[in-house]
Structure 1
Amino acid sequence: MRYLPIFLDLKRGVVLLAGSGDLARAKLRLLASAGARVRWYATGGDHDLGGLSAEETSKVELTAGDVLNADLDGVISVLCAGAGEVGPLLSARAKAIGLPVNVMDDLEHSTFIFPAVVDRGDVVVAVGTGGASPVVARRVRELIETVLPARIGDLAGFIGRWRKIIHGRIPEFPLRRRFWERVVDGEIGALVLAGRNDEAEAALNDIDDASAFAARLPSGKAEGSVTLVGAGPGDPDLLTVKALRALQDADVIFYDELVSPEILDRARRDAARVPVGRRVGKPGIGQNAINQLLIEAAQAGRRVVRLKGGDPFIFGRGGEEIEALRQAGVAYSVIPGITAGLGAAAQFEVPLTFRHEARRITFLTAHKAKDAEAVDWSTLTDVKMTIVVYMGMTAAPSVRAGLLAAGRSARTPVGVFARVTRKDAASAIGTLDELPGLVEKIDGGPAILIIGDVVSHAAPSRHPGLTQLASYFQVAAE
């Protein structure tokens, strides 16, 4: 690490800005929004304050004359942006008296660099790449922006207002730290993040014995709870913001076999990770055992994440787990995920509904042949219905037989989409009559079957089979 991240107290003095044009105005807006008092030497003579509020403009001192002879008394930092040849000369003067200086896009003449900044009021995150790639720093900042709650700065300010009071009530540092962990992770913190500050103030004020509040659980953390999280079909970038927060807060994660390693990598590093899923043909620990693990972990005061592929409520047994948690009196919440059927449709450009062609969608599961045999296929013969079959690879021959026997055309377009949204995603497209053979082409699951005329609209460049499929429709039309 060449550059040490530090935070400059802008109330200690004036920032001198030299330069003109868009580059100087960009720095001016940044400084003014941070509350800095700025002495601006516009080297091009154009003091354009456009885009600044009246309050921000009041903190800018417009100065004329030669900046190389500027009075540096009370200046805490020097910035050059769009200053041309003046930059290195002013840098030399600042260095000579020990003032930190930044010359934009000139590492040689700078003693500090500007990070990409995430500003949440009292919470500020700085991201730097040592000047190597400001674009990468901005991309990282954008990722952080999506994860940080909008009111996280309010939470920091809330704690700051109570800090001295709680310090007087809890002199022991370890216990005081646990107190604030419980506040941040518990109901009071949630109230602040929801914008309900008055309720949060009242709740904190109602704590009679702060030490007992902090020591109520050995871990010092909030009471245990379970969050059912939909991990989506595989691509970690499809996780919701709430899902990422839950993974970062978790003490223990019980995850399905189909959850990708890339998604688990987004979890808190020191969280315990327990696999509880199973693959086709392999034994698992059973749903009752999973329910009991969730209950026991929550009752021990742990923050539990039950991480499930796709969405918890679409063939994910999320409903069964919630019933068990309710009966045990365990607090829980649900964070939905992108189900595999929608992931397949988006990746391979198969519109599940299409005007005048498909007005209904049916989701069903056919884990085994007997599952397919139990389906009443006569209700699925409407040509304007799209059928999405989960876990249908093994049962593909029975799915085909059931639909054909019910009267669905053998030439109905069908797609088999495997490992959707992942790097090794694959697909095979053909007709209902060819379904078992299509399954053999995709080299292993998990896979989604999509059946219906909408499959003919999939992206042609990704599906060689569409050429043959198009000929079927042409012949039928003639």
Structure 2
Amino acid sequence: MRYFPFFHDLHNKCCLIVGGGTIALRKARLLIKAGARLRVVAPSVGPELQSLVAESGGECLFERYNEHHLDDAVLVISATDIDVVNEQVAGDCHRLRLPVNVVDNPSLCSIITPAIVDRSPLIIGVTSGGEAPVLARMVRSRLEAIFPSRYGLLGSLASRFREAVKARFSDGEQRRRFWEKTLQGPVAEQVFANNLEKAEQLMAQAIDQAGDDTLGEVYLVGAGPGDPDLLTFKALRLMQQAEVVLYDRLVSQPILELVRRDAERIYVGKKRDLHAVPQQDINQRLVDLAKQGKRVLRLKGGDPFIFGRGGEEIELLADNNVPFQVVPGITAASGCAAYSGIPLTHRDHAQSVRFVTGHLKEGSSDLPFNEMASANQTLVFYMGLVALPEICLKLISAGKDPKTPAALIERGTTPNHQVHIGDLETLPELVKNTEVHAPTLLIIGSVVALHSKLNWFDQ
């Protein structure tokens, strides 16, 4: 991140614009909305721009730029098409440590003006650092659609009740919980329906009836196989509400970045034969944190109910009467297979699919290989990298064709996604001679033969 976003209070403060044409006019329109007092310097200034300057209580100086024009300015925008003037303005501002934006020349800028979504008092700024302004405007357009204009009314309503909420809740954490609950409940719905009087009544009732929360809640959320675009909307919402997050090794860094910034993060990941925190301790910690009144996010790779031990965790929560929610995630079998062009079922290849844990217990496996050797089914082994040679050998011994296609997918759906293709005979040797990184997923069945035709992720 090269540019750090700030929001600058420009009310009744002098902002200098060098240039009097169309580009200068566009910048002036933005600045005057923030209450800035405009000073425009240019040999010629368009009539509409002159009118905006007069409206702001500023001044138009019909002359060429010089350093004295910077006096009293808190922000400078150079909007000319003359390179030597832009360079002079930028150089003077850099020397005086005065924020400057040179339109369409990021190398001369110390600040970048973003694409703005104005839902005052809610303001959203989007920037590409000047490198892809059209992309920034596209993102702004999407945000305009997501956040209707009445979000501004919701912000104004919150502002009017801010002092009453402060008086009701002495603790900052309680205030934050109140606002998060209220601003996405019935109050917000009434605002969006333009029933402002009803919204104010509901807000007053919510303040009067609010009690002290002595018991928190646990969110058991599936983070999917690695690509953050595969998260559900509900998962994202709860990730932004939680005050504490317990996450495992399979949660990718881009997904972890979507958790609320000020949330306490506790790593409880597991590797083969190495558990950072024993499972029973994880279960108990969820209970303990919730009883402290915390909103706790248990973030798990894939789906929490498919080899994720999520059932064990919420069972203890239920025993202790701790409220919880479960948000399913895209399991690794679905995500990795889809990103590899391997359909788990197909009319011509497989009419069933079986999910199996590939972990060996005490160095051996007691899986029903005779059942799994039957044709017309897809086998998916989770965590099967170490057991790969034994899995393939036992399937062959149980009667499965040694030439059955097999794929080992490493770090599926992430930028490091790799697919190793072979069959029951050749794949163990291929993997043995290849550096493979966990997490991995093993898929066995004739559907794997479709990989070369249907793979889209690496194209």
Q: TM-score, normalised by structure 2?
A: 0.68
The 8 Å contact of residues 165 and 175 in structure 2, kept in 1 or not, is answered as: no
Per-residue CA shift, 1:304-353, capped at 9, x if unaligned?
Answer: 11111122122212233233323322222233333222332244333434
Q: Deviations over 1:230-284 (max 9, x none)?
A: 2233345654555444444332221223334454344345433223332222356
3-state SS of 2:335 partner? helix
Corresponding residue of 2:189: 195
Deviation, structure 1 residue 357? 3.5
**1:120 to 1:309, Cα distance in 2 relative to 1, 3 A:** farther
**Farther-moved stretch of structure 1 (224-233 vs 254-263):** 254-263
2:395 partner SS: helix
Which of 6, 22, 46 aligns to 2:8? It is 6
SS state of the match for residue 380, structure 2?
A: strand
Secondary structure at 1:190 match in 2: coil
Contact 1:255 1:308 in 2 (8 A): yes
Residues 76-100 of structure 1: CA deviation (Å, up to 9, x unaligned) = 6899xxxxxxx99699999799797
Q: Give, in whole Å, the separation in 1 of the partners of 2:280 and 2:142.
A: 36
**Gap change, CA 1:164 and 1:260, over 3 Å in 2:** closer
Residues 1:451 and 2:444 are matched in the alignment = yes
Question: Contact 1:251–1:271 (CA<8 Å) still a contact in 2?
Answer: yes
| SS in structure 2 at match of 1:135 | coil
Given candidates 259, 264, 277, the residue that maps to 1:267 is 259
RMSD: 5.2
For residues 32-431 of structure 1, what are the structure 2 equivalents within 5 Å?
A: 72-75=53-56, 102-104=77-79, 113=101, 115-119=113-117, 121-122=119-120, 123-127=122-126, 133-135=129-131, 150=146, 157-158=153-154, 160-161=156-157, 163-164=159-160, 167=163, 175=170, 180-186=175-181, 188-191=182-185, 195=189, 197=191, 201=200, 203-207=202-206, 209=208, 213=211, 216=212, 224-236=216-228, 238-240=230-232, 242-283=234-275, 285-354=277-346, 356-368=348-360, 372-375=365-368, 377-378=370-371, 381-383=374-376, 385-422=377-414, 424-431=416-423
Aligned 8 A contact 2:317 2:324 in 1: yes
Please report how far the alpha carbon of residue 449 of structure 1 lies from its aligned counterpart in structure 2 after TM superposition.
0.6
Give the deviation of 1:301 after TM superposition: 0.9
- Displacement of 1:427: 3.6
- Seen in structure 2, the aligned counterparts of structure 1 residues 391 and 334 have a Cα distance that, compared at 3 Å, is same
**Residue identity matched to 2:113:** P
| Alpha-carbon distance in structure 1 between the residues aligned to 2:349 and 2:24 | 57
How much has 1:365 moved relative to structure 2?
A: 1.9
Tell me by how many angstroms 1:140 deviates: 7.2
Opposite residue 312 of structure 2, the aligned amino acid is E
Query: Which one-letter code corresponds to 2:55 in the other structure?
Result: G
In structure 2, distance between residues paired with 1:202 and 1:77: 43
* Mapped partners of 1:263, 1:71: distance in 2: 45
Seq. identity, % = 31
* SS across alignment from 2:184: helix
Q: Gapped runs of 5+ residues in structure 1?
A: 37-61, 80-86, 463-478
- The alpha-carbon distance between structure 1 residues 272 and 145, as it changes in their structure 2 partners (threshold 3 A), is farther
- Once residues 327 and 280 of structure 1 are traced to their aligned partners in structure 2, the CA distance between those partners, rounded to angstroms, is 29
Relative to structure 1, the CA distance from residue 207 to residue 309 in structure 2 (aligned partners, 3 Å threshold; closer, same or farther) is closer
Q: Which ranges of structure 2 fall in alignment gaps of 5 or more residues?
A: 36-45, 81-85, 91-98, 102-111
* Paired residue secondary structure (2:402): coil
CA–CA distance in structure 2, aligned partners of residues 93 and 71 of structure 1:
22
Look up the SS of the partner of 1:316 in the other structure. coil
Q: CA 1:4–1:450 in structure 2 vs 1: closer, same or farther (change >3 Å)?
A: closer
Q: 1:238 to 1:386 in 2, by over 3 A?
A: same
Contact 1:256 1:308 in 2 (8 A): yes
Q: Distance in 2 between matches of 1:175 and 1:148?
A: 35
Residue 70 of structure 1: CA displacement?
6.9
SS in structure 2 of the partner of residue 433 of structure 1: coil
Is residue 225–residue 332 contact of structure 2 (8 Å, CA) maintained in 1?
A: yes
Aligned CA distance change for structure 1 residues 339 and 141 (closer, same or farther; 3 Å): farther
Q: CA shift at 1:147, angstroms?
A: 9.6
Separation in structure 1 between the aligned mates of residue 228 and residue 405 of structure 2, nearest angstrom: 30
Seen in structure 2, the aligned counterparts of structure 1 residues 445 and 18 have a Cα distance that, compared at 3 Å, is same
Matched residues in 1 for 2:367 and 2:7: separation?
Answer: 63
Helix, strand or coil for the counterpart of 1:320? helix
Residue identity matched to 2:154: F
Report the secondary structure of 1:306's partner residue.
strand
| Contact 1:373–1:398, Cα closer than 8 Å, also in 2 | no
TM-score by length of 1: 0.66
Q: Which amino acid aligns with 1:428?
A: H
The residue that corresponds to 1:43 in the other structure is none
Q: Whole-Å Cα distance in 2 between the matches of residues 456 and 158 of structure 1?
A: 55
CA–CA distance in structure 1, aligned partners of residues 269 and 5 of structure 2: 45
Q: Distance in 2 between matches of 1:161 and 1:382?
A: 64
Of 408-417 and 246-255, the range deviating more from structure 2: 246-255
* Distance in 2, Cα, partners of 1:234 & 1:3: 28
Deviation at 1:375, TM superposition (A): 2.7
